[in-house]
Amino acid sequence: LTKRATITDVASKAGVSIKTVSRVINREPNVRDSVRERVLAAADELGYAPSLSARALAGTRSYVLALMFDNPSLAYVAEIQLGALQRCRELGYHLIVDPIDSAALDRESLEAALAAARPDGIILTPPLCDNALALEAIEAAGLVHVRIAPSGDLARGPYVRTDDRAAAKEMTLKLIDMGHETVAFVRGHRAHGAAAARFDGYADALKARGLKLDKTLVAQGDFGFDSGAACGEALLKRPKPPTAIFAANDDMARGVLAAAERLGLAVPEDLSVAGFDDTPAARTVWPPLTTVRQPIRDLAAAAVEIAVALASQSGDVEPSRTLDTEIVMRASTAPRSSRG
Amino acid sequence: LTKRATITDVASKAGVSIKTVSRVINREPNVRDSVRERVLAAADELGYAPSLSARALAGTRSYVLALMFDNPSLAYVAEIQLGALQRCRELGYHLIVDPIDSAALDRESLEAALAAARPDGIILTPPLCDNALALEAIEAAGLVHVRIAPSGDLARGPYVRTDDRAAAKEMTLKLIDMGHETVAFVRGHRAHGAAAARFDGYADALKARGLKLDKTLVAQGDFGFDSGAACGEALLKRPKPPTAIFAANDDMARGVLAAAERLGLAVPEDLSVAGFDDTPAARTVWPPLTTVRQPIRDLAAAAVEIAVALASQSGDVEPSRTLDTEIVMRASTAPRSSRG
DNA sequence: ATGAAAGCGCTAACAC
DNA sequence: GTGTTAGCGCTTTCAT
């Protein structure tokens, strides 16, 4: 491994002082264009890349962002990571990932985790982003933090999210407009903010079409596959079963699919099933699930952008953003048939 | 954010020089026990944690390990990460995760990725750990690397793995000993080394029970769900269909399950299905899959241990390890019934 | 608009 | 067994 070029190498090659190189690298003002170009050329030729360690040691920033999560969904976390990582690279930042055991969460271990890598900012995924203890510790440490898809308390600080309520409304409307008069809903975990928003969207849609909310058509799940199966079975065993079931996430929708199968119902001929999230499993299950796709990577990338901007205090960024979702129609839904 | 304690603070508090503190922190010899304890106590009281940046800048180690992967299975990568992260923390190391687009892999981008964060060592997951280009670049950079579950070329360098061949043999034996005379096999992707090992294990088992390998009972898949479904259908449509199908991974086993369902076969009454990997989906599919569990976290943790030991040249470590697998019996397999 | 000098917190090399 | 000194590559502060 050949030794890496340093700021001194670049400076002498460009015939300037290291401070000038520093200015150029950090996009600071007060450098003549001609000098700037010369420095840039020298840096490029030498393959110069500033040393993170030296920068962190000398300066106030660490050029590190931490992604903290306790999300049980591996697929979700993996997508978040990918999106965050990519934008971090583009911005010259490093990302450390920090799985948190929220069951054993205490102030001390949190502070230890924060102290370990002195990040410039923290990205929080749900449901950790709604954890009071975590938020308090981070705020007390005075660290920049950006929440991804927080449940509520939007005023508390920067966040990025999608409009789950609007998306759930749109999906429900699609089902109704396919001719399904009875669209049942399987709610998500009570503690999870997205669960409430998605249910509200379902209710919005019924209202918009002049249908009234039938509480016996709403089952309480917990976002897990098993709860979806149980809720699905309960709903389908009713005297007048629904012809469409909209579950608040894909895992529960897969559970509904399993229940339908056990009861000998054909999907989508006898029953339409829709999910939410567009997890990888939504595509591989049979029939493939109609669902709502969230731009998970984009959410993470946006969170990184905001965190970096906030940490470097570079001008004013919009500290929060709401991104669009997309409905993905697949084979698990169909217009209501005469059989249904 | 209150300023962090430095080595100087600890030194003055303990009444020694900073070098002595350094010795204690780095577990170097030549410190009296009484002094060591005094230093440790002072460090503890001050909440001292050495600055990564300063260490990296001054020393030869960076205290950073890189986890490079291009594995399409999010669940696998997530497990690997968890295991690696945990051990890294215990060893005072940091982990940076580095998703690689192996389709667009070239020497230049690889070197850039390696240069970006000057890690002390690299952990490679399959199939990246078998990528000649990647290995060459890393070796050329003179970096310590540990491969997780490499296909072959075990002499090339340190690795950790499980004995897939032995595990597949064991699973096949279980199926045979349940009374299944015709156990079919769905092979994994040709380029993936584990695929070959698992098939070999299947063949070993047949041989061990004096059965001869019937090539028409072996289907070629690619580790994907769809290939499993296709292979399953082909196998089950044979004049004399197998009563058990062992797929080389869970995704394909789920495909086989889907095929059986479409053909109206009950699992496990008409057909036993087994997979490999114990992915989360193996538990949530219906019926839950009998499969082989790999100690993925342990593999990652072992890889980290080896990498750190190698990077710090601390004594001699066994540079490679083979960990045990475990067979998980679930409802997708049953003794051969009269119906089968 | 540019530069000189002083550290940041630690390890390395050598004293004692 | 313990301490001293000189950097590592950068940012910061203050001159010019």
- Is the pLDDT at A178 greater than 60, yes or no? yes
- Which residues in chain B touch residue A53, judged by CB atoms under 8 angstroms apart? 52-54, 56-57, 62
Q: Cβ B284–A254 below 8 Å, yes or no? A: yes
- Is the pLDDT at A165 greater than 80, yes or no? yes
Q: Cβ A99–B85 below 8 Å, yes or no? A: yes
DSSP assignment letter at A2: P
**A331 CA, D1 C1': Å apart:** 76
Q: Is the CB of A52 under 7 A from strand C?
A: no
Shortest distance between the Cα of A121 and any Cα of chain B, in A, equals 13
Hey, which residues 163-222 in chain A have their CB within 8 Å of chain B?
A: none
- The two beta strands, A326-328 and B183-187, are unpaired
pLDDT score, position A339: 56
- Is the pLDDT at A179 greater than 50, yes or no? yes
B14 CA: nearest nucleotide by C1': D2
Nearest by CB: A284 against B51, B57, B225: B225
Considering the entire predicted model, what is its pTM? 0.80
Which run of H or E residues covers position B183?
strand B183-187
- Is the pLDDT at A191 greater than 60, yes or no? yes
pLDDT score, position A152: 77
Q: How far apart are CA B119 and CA B143, in angstroms?
A: 8
- Lowest mean pLDDT across A81-90, A308-317, B181-190: A308-317
- Is the pLDDT at A318 greater than 90, yes or no? no
Query: Among candidates A46, A39, A50, which has minimal Cα distance to A15?
Result: A39
Shortest distance between the Cα of A176 and any Cα of chain B, in A, equals 29
- Is the pLDDT at B94 greater than 90, yes or no? no
- Tokens 């059965």 locate to B211
Q: How far apart are CA B259 and CA B237, in angstroms?
A: 10
Quick one: tokens of A23?
């200015």
Q: What confidence tier does A107 reach under pLDDT thresholds 50, 70, 90? A: confident
Q: What confidence tier does B294 reach under pLDDT thresholds 50, 70, 90? A: very high
Point out which residues pair with B218 in neighbouring strands: B185
What average pLDDT does this structure show over B230-255?
96
Q: How far apart are CA A318 and CA B220, in angstroms?
A: 53
**A59 CA, C1 C1': Å apart:** 23
Q: How far apart are CA B16 and CA B8, in angstroms?
A: 9
- Is the pLDDT at B1 greater than 60, yes or no? no
Nearest CA to the C1' of C5 belongs to which residue? A19
If you measure CA to CA, which chain A residue comes closest to B98?
A: A85
Shortest distance between the Cα of A275 and any Cα of chain B, in A, equals 16
Q: What confidence tier does A18 reach under pLDDT thresholds 50, 70, 90? A: very high
Question: Where do the DSSP E strands lie in chain A?
Answer: 64-69, 94-99, 121-124, 144-148, 159-162, 183-187, 218-220, 244-247, 272-274, 291-293, 320-323, 326-328
Q: Cβ B1–A142 below 8 Å, yes or no? A: yes
